[in-house]
Structure 1
């Protein structure tokens, strides 16, 4: 029976795709790859490129990065309908997504629209924050400590509360609201306990202790922050 597969490609290094993901890609009839801009490239497809068969049909689809929910939902519904048609025609269909499919992934919006109509399987991937902790050779969370993952796009009160209540914090999409994040860290006295990793595991990866930055620093789009309240993250 044909099936739809959501495939996490990990944070950026092609070597970090799972063995299961690479084997599955070889067996697909169709592969959907998301891109943020018309005429742009799919980052997820670029990561998986070493494993893509030459004869695999690839469908790049635009996922608009806008605030208007109606615009995004229209795109999600159209792409989901196309995927359902492919699977119902007897084709095994894959969808690539950065990191892990269950963490802030475009795949989740497609999944919600197709899972009652076709068979679905989700293939886990390595998240950016797991890779960041590994690259720094530090534990992400220990014993009875708390760990929270929060997007910097949340409101200031929520982020302030998360900093106060948790031992460890992962802040995603930190470049989009950097000044607010920096000021909250400074007010909490946590500049020495925070580090930013941009383009994790990709070419051009940058690891920067927050103590070396300012509120006016400009960060790359793929930047994630790790805050560990009980460990200094500066040399």
Structure 2
């Protein structure tokens, strides 16, 4: 189930001449989609790295009304169909939407733009950081922070030197997982973006467009590029997890 489709796609791409593979993979439209996909996913995952850490910190360290409801709502992007997520984002951030109507006078357009692609990627990948950091933060002994305070460390010094080091591998792992998820996102982005080349067209949508044009070779080559990128991300995740074991008791 896992290796046969992957092997089939690689074998299909290998039937082309190396020059043809390079030509398809480095086509100006394809390069533009790589830029939109990977750069936007990287920015979105970086934002989620900070936001996810803050959300996990609040959920673990504070008690407030409706905490369980908010905690459960973090997993909403996991259960929500991506097409529904894209429709919701496009409606809320359109020029007539709740948020879009406030941003329109400022000249900020979210729906049907690259910014909308970033918003969709942030929405669908935020839970990865929260759910990766949350259990590590729960297992962190508060006595370590109290000992640092007794030794004269400020709250910022305690967070930076005592709390953050064991959390950092989990944060980076969540960022990598969110990045991989954002790179492969299709359902929400295809609705919230205008899907115009050199503007906000992403690589997964380009693959689908090539299939609609019966360009199976082009779709296979671009899909192989995304596959290689995903494998690299998985390798990075494994390295980060191995690094995180240094703090296991």
Which bin holds the TM-score, normalised by the shorter protein?
A: under 0.3
Q: If the length of structure 1 is used for normalisation, what is the TM-score? A: 0.24
Q: If the length of structure 2 is used for normalisation, what is the TM-score? A: 0.23
Could you say which structure has the greater relative contact order, defined with CA pairs below 8 angstroms and 6 or more residues apart? Answer: 2
Q: Over alpha carbons, which structure has the higher Rg? A: 2
Query: Structure 1 or 2: larger helix share?
Result: 2
